[in-house]
Amino acid sequence: MERFGCPGFKTAGVHAGLKKNGALDLGLIYAEQPATAAGVFTRNLVQAAPVQLSRRRAAGGRCRAVIVNSKNANCCTGADGMRDAMAMTGLVAQALGLEEHEVLVASTGVIGAPLPMEKITAAVPTLCEALVADDVDALARSMMTTDTVPKAVRRRGTVYGRDFTVVGVAKGAGMIRPDMATMLCFLMTDAQASAGALQAALSTGVERSLNRITIDGDTSTNDTCLLLASGVSGARIDTNGAREAFQKVLDDVLMDLARRLVADGEGVTKVVTVSVCGAQTEADARRIVDAVAHSPLVKTAFFGQDANWGRILAAAGRAGAQLDPERLALFFDDVQMVRDGMGCGPAAEAAATAVLKKDAFTVTLDLGLGLGRAEMLTCDFSADYVKINADYRS
C-alpha cells in the first residue's frame, strides 16, 4: 500500500498480543494540536462500552487521540467493560500528556469476552513510541478482524486557493448493514472547521456512502465513524462554497472506502449495485432496494451466477412499497430480463448469465410509477461466508 498520512496527525499500529501470530491489533491516532471532532455511531440498542464512552466525549467537538483494538469488542462486559474502556483512554492520555476526556476509544471483535487489559497496558508505551506522520498502513492493519486487506484512502481538494487533504481508514468484512454508520471508520483532514460544520459534513457523507452498503444485514454493536480536523492547512470550510468543495472530497473518500469494504466482505466474490428507479417516492425506492440487497435468496443466486429474476421481483413485492407487477422492468447491466412483469425469454437469460459471471455488475429494477430512486451496494453470499462465521471464535 502507498505510504501516506494526513498533516497534523500521527498514527501507529502494534502487536499487543490480542491476535495470534504477531498480527497488529492495537492502533492509535494522535492529533499534534487540538482537533475538531465529529462522530456517527451505531443505533443498535446493544452498544459496546467504547461506543458509549466515545459518543459522550465526541459530543464536545474536540479530540486529541483515538485508541482502537481489534479481536475483542468489549461489548456486553458490564461495568468492568466501561472501566476498561476508560482505562485505555487514560493510558494514552498519560503517555502523551493529554487530558483523558480528549481521548476516544473504539473496539472490534468478539462480543462478550473481557478485554485482556494487562496486554493493552503493556503495549501502550510501545504504541505511542511507534507514532509516525507519513504512513497509516499500520493503523489500518491493527483494526482488521476478518478483513483480508487494509483499507486506506487519500484525496486532496482546494478551497479559496488553499489545499486540504482527507485521509480515511476503515475495517469491515462482516456484520455490515447500513444504519447511521457501519464498521469502524476513521477520517482525518487538515482543513479547518467548526464542530457543527464537521458533524454536518460527516452525517451527510455517511448517508451517501456507508449507509448504502450491505454485506450480511447485521448492524454491529460497535459501529463507529469519526472525523477529526487538525486545521493546519488553513483551508476553512465553514462558508457555503468551501463546504460544498469539502463535502465532495469527503464523499469521494467515504464511497471509495465503502466499495472496498463490500469487495472485501466475508467470502465475497461479486460486488453488485442494486438500483431501483421509477418508484412513487424515494422512500418506496429505498424500501425495495433494501429488500433486494438483503435477500439471502437473491445473494446466493448472484454467487451461483443464476439469473433468477423471480427472486428479485419477490423481494421487491414484500418490501411494503407501492408496486404494480405488470409495470416492472428488470435489467442486469444493459440486458433486459423482465418487461411488463414477465420474463424476456431464454436468449435474455443467457445474456444475463454472462453478466453474472463478472466480478461487478448492476441490477436495475424500474417500477414505472414515478421519479423515486435509490441505490445500494451489496454482494453475493458464498459458502465461505458460512465457514468464516462458523469458525469465528475458534
What is the mean pLDDT of each successive set of 10 residues along the chain, which is 394 residues long? 93 97 97 97 88 96 97 94 98 98 95 95 98 97 89 96 97 52 83 96 90 63 92 94 96 92 81 96 95 93 94 97 97 98 96 96 98 92 74 55
Where do the DSSP E strands lie in the chain?
A: 9-14, 26-41, 62-69, 103-107, 151-159, 162-171, 184-189, 224-229, 271-279, 329-332, 335-339, 342-343, 360-366, 372-379
Instruction: Give me the pLDDT at residue 178, please.
Output: 42
250 close to 40: Cβ distance less than 8 angstroms: no
Q: Looking at the chain, how many residues does it have?
A: 394
- Residue 339, strand partner residues: 342
Whole-number Å distance between alpha carbons of 379 and 381: 7
- For the entire predicted model, the pTM comes to 0.85
| Res 176: pLDDT | 44
In 3-state terms the chain splits into helix, strand, coil percentages (rounded to 5) of 35, 25, 35
Task: Record the cell numbers describing residue 308, joined without a space.
Answer: 433468477
CB-neighbour burial class of residue 164 (10 A; exposed 0-12, middle 13-18, buried 19+)? buried
Domains in the chain, CATH or no CATH each: 9-263 (3.60.70.12), 271-390 (3.10.20.340)
What secondary structure letter does DSSP report for 93? H
Burial status of residue 118 (CB atoms within 10 A of its CB: 0-12, 13-18, 19 or more): exposed
pLDDT attached to residue 182: 40
- For residue 4, the one-letter residue type is F
Give the model's pLDDT for residue 391: 63
CA angle 360, 304, 377 (to 5 degrees): 35
Catalytic residue IDs: 182
